[in-house]
Structure 1
Amino acid sequence: MKLSVSLARQVSVARAEAATGWLRATPSGRTLWRVVDGLVAIQVVDRSLALAAQIFTSVLPVIIAASVFSGWHAAADTVSDQFGFNSASLSTGDTDAPMDPSFAAFGVVGLVMVVLGGTSFARALGRVYGAIWQVPSMGPRDAWRWVATLLAVALCAALVGQTRGLTHIRYAGRPLALVGEVAIWTFVWTLVPLLLTKGALTGRLLWVSALLTAVGLTSVHVAGRIVLPRITTNAQHHFGPLGLAFTSVSWLFVMSLVIVGAASVVKSFALDETCVGRYLRGPDSGGPDDDSS
């Protein structure tokens, strides 16, 4: 059964079983109720905490390990831009010393091992999408999708860090940086659900969910540039690297809330009985009236 048809049938069932309360007596009220109920049912806090931990232990190590090929500056800029602290301050050695060839070889092997072991992030995200969209989970045969997801998120996170360079352009710099960040996040969060649901979602569900996620992550990023420098400075002053780690995981939790919440909210609106829901489900889904006839 196509997902769009399944969603349309869920709309018919929901409308037939709608309560007569003041909130669920109207289509807009039922949509609002579905948003709240969907967030509770998906256990948005628990899943966001788990996802934040996986990002910290899977995605960030890939960005750092990739510095073996691209140089440390790209990884350092990404960490600084996302979390508000200068990673160079954690270094205790001579960063200008030439890299030993054996260390570089170990870095290549380490990168491969980090990528293979870091797919736990993609598996956790796949479970989130499976619970939200009720699609079958993937098996070992689809392991390449986990690797592709991890690399795509890590690469786009690094690219987002580089968009800050656009702010140096006179007049149009800051708007360009924001547009660039939204565009990058929209691309990756269209690609990731496509990979992890094996193409079960329609194009409209994909790009609407991706755009909502992108706007949310960009808003969090902008807010982080204001509040994080002071928070991380205090955390580092009082607790050292441990404070930075705790602050980073906390901020990753906020970003994970956006990722999980955006998908759940779009699912709720896809069950909407108005033109919004019909648009998201697509022309092949049929409407509630068609299913009930």
Structure 2
Amino acid sequence: MTEQRGRPSRARWVRAGSTWLRGRTATLRDAPFPRRLVAQLVHVHVLDTATRLAAQAFLTAVPVLFVLAAFMPQAVRNSVSESLRTVLGLRGASLDEVKQVLRSNRTQTTDAFGAAGVLVTLLSATSCSRVLQRLCERSWHLPHLSGRLAAWRWLAWLLVWLTALTVQGQVRSGFGVGHGLGIFLYLLTGALLWWWTQHLLLGGRVRWLPLLPGAVLTGAALTALSSASRLYIPRSVDRSVTQFGPLGLVFTLLSWLIVVFTAVTLAISTGYVVAGQGRLARLLSTPEPAPADD
């Protein structure tokens, strides 16, 4: 009898708790910025999302870069290696290993993969796009876009970013003009790419202007990390290779990807909070925040 009487009581507590949470979510837009930001970061699961993005990029997106480069002209391969050298600061043995992979015999690579193999590799690499789409949706508190509507967007995002990576070296060096111009161009192109990324992966459900703060924050964060990587990556690679051999490069790259995607996750999720603040929300016509989804 006591147990039976306890069950309705617990159910009432659960319903009351759910009602309270919905009420708190509805009034969250009126809360101070730090409180909104903390609630947003908890909702997005920053470390979990960043780790998933890093793992997918390492396991799928990075390999597809080398596979596609093997089918491209030598000038494109040189551009890819230059981008990796300039952006990550690779040098010495680590840079030689990358160049060796990109110089792999084109006929042997074509025979090994074929058109079907390349297609499968591309499709598997869209797993990174899918996780990134989920980050954008959680950041903007939107329901998940079905695969039927989003599939082409995953592939489009991957192809555009792979193309962008091939010219990052030239952008970062300011096309030979100077380091200062290179930093500005890197920031500008990064912000534009992440502006487009959010709009694409959200399926156009959020207008362009509210997405701008997140794009600027992401571009700025990645520009700062690009400068830091030129100091950190070479030393870390040399130390890791000395301790662990060839696996040292793997450990360093994976750990750096986690740092990069943590910055991306923080910037995009923070951009939502910034875009919903006071006058800026009215200026950008930011939509009213929806209740947090699970």
TM-score (ref. length: structure 1) = 0.78
Runs of 5+ unmatched residues, structure 2: 1-22, 289-294
User: Per the alignment, do residues 239 and 84 of structure 1 end up closer, same or farther by CA in structure 2, a change over 3 Å counting?
Assistant: farther
Greater RCO, 1 or 2 (C-alpha within 8 Å, sep 6+): 1
Asked if structure 2 preserves the Cα contact closer than 8 Å seen for 1:122 and 1:149, the reply is yes
Q: Where do residues 66-77 of structure 1 align in structure 2 (5 Å cutoff)?
A: 66-67=68-69, 68-71=71-74, 72-77=77-82
Q: Which amino acid aligns with 1:116?
A: L
The corresponding residue for 1:44 is: 46
CA shift digits 1:197-238 (9 cap, x unpaired): 110122112222111110110001011112221111111121
Structure 2 match to 1:146: 154
Contact 1:163-1:177 at 8 Å conserved across structures: yes
- The one-letter code of the counterpart of 2:128 is F
Distance 1:254 1:102, change over 3 A: closer
1:155 paired residue among 163, 171, 174 = 163
Q: Return the letter of the residue paired with 1:60.
A: V
User: Within 5 Å, which residues of 2 pair with 1:236-251?
Assistant: 236-251=241-256
Cα gap change, 1:10 to 1:66, in 2 (>3 Å): farther
Q: Is the partner of 2:143 in helix, strand or coil? A: coil
Give the whole-Å Cα distance in 1 for the aligned partners of 2:134 and 2:258.
Answer: 17
- Please name the residue that 2:9 is paired with: none
> Matches of 1:94 and 1:36 in 2, distance apart?
43
Residue aligned with 1:135, SS: coil
Partner SS state of residue 145, structure 2: coil
Find 1:206's aligned residue among 208, 211, 228. Answer: 211
**Candidates 19, 28, 32, aligned match of 1:14:** 28
2:284 to 280, 286, 293: 280
Higher mean C-alpha deviation, range 128-137 or range 103-112: 103-112
CA-based RMSD: 2.9
Paired residues of 2:85 and 2:95 also in contact (CA < 8 A): no
Structure 1 portions without partners, runs of 5+: 1-8, 19-26, 287-293
The aligned counterpart of 1:4 is none
Verify the 8 A CA contact 1:160 1:184 in the aligned structure 2.
no
Task: Decide whether aligned partners of structure 1 residues 116 and 225 sit closer, same or farther in structure 2, where only a CA change above 3 A counts.
Answer: same
How many residue pairs were aligned? 260
Q: 1:279 to 1:243 in 2, by over 3 A?
A: same
* Percent identity of equivalent pairs: 27
Task: Using the TM superposition, give the Cα deviation of residue 130 of structure 1 relative to its aligned residue in structure 2, in angstroms.
Answer: 1.6
Q: Which of 63, 66, 88 is the equivalent residue of 1:83?
A: 88
In the superposition, relative to structure 1, how do residues 131 and 89 fare at CA in structure 2: closer, same or farther (>3 Å)? Answer: same
Alpha-carbon distance in structure 2 between the residues aligned to 1:280 and 1:94: 46
Equivalents in 2 of 1:56, 1:227: separation in Å?
A: 19
Partner amino acid for 2:220? V
Q: Which has the higher helix share?
A: 2
TM-score by length of 2: 0.78
State the AA in 2 paired with 1:246.
F
The alpha carbon displacement at 1:257 in A equals 1.2
Q: Which amino acid aligns with 1:278?
A: R
* Counterpart Cα distance in 1 of 2:266 and 2:228: 18
- 1:136 corresponds to which letter in structure 2? P
CA distance in 1, matches of 2:281, 2:187: 24
Task: Return the match for 1:258 from 255, 263, 285.
Answer: 263
CA distance in 2, matches of 1:112, 1:144: 14
Tell whether the 8 Å contact from 1:156 to 1:184 is kept in structure 2 after alignment: no
Q: In 2, Cα distance between the equivalents of 1:105 and 1:153?
A: 26
Question: Hey, what's the Cα distance between the residues in 2 that align with 1:94 and 1:139?
Answer: 37
Displacement of 1:96 in angstroms is 7.2
